[in-house]
Amino acid sequence: MGWILRVILIIIVVRALWRLVYGIAQGLSTPSITERPAVGLQRDPVCGTFVVPSRALTARSGEEVRFFCSERCRQAWSRK
């Protein structure tokens, strides 16, 4: 019975070491977040929230485009 526990313990230790080495190798091989292209955020002029331009609501004022986080902010800005 004692040898079964030793085998199980050895398997657990080997698996833990394998996962550690594999995780380190993965971390070294994949690009970090700073290497990925950044998305330029725009600030909502009403509440100050930063929004991704492709997902934001917009309103034009002449040639200037404003970006909004919600319809509520866009309406508040258009009332001014």
Return d(Cα 15, Cα 59) in angstroms, integer. Answer: 56
CA–centroid distance for 59 within its chain: 27
Q: Are 54 and 77 in contact (CB under 8 A)?
A: no
* pLDDT classification of 65: cutoffs 50, 70, 90: very high
Q: Are 68 and 56 in contact (CB under 8 A)?
A: yes
What is the 3-class SS of 23-63, one letter each residue? HHHHHHHCCCHHHCCCCCCEECCCCCCEECCCCCEEEEECC
* pLDDT classification of 39: cutoffs 50, 70, 90: confident
pTM of the model: 0.53
* pLDDT classification of 35: cutoffs 50, 70, 90: low
What confidence score (pLDDT) does residue 15 get?
96
Average pLDDT of the chain, as a whole number? 87
Q: What is the pLDDT of residues 42-63, one digit of tens each?
A: 999 999 999 999 899 999 888 8
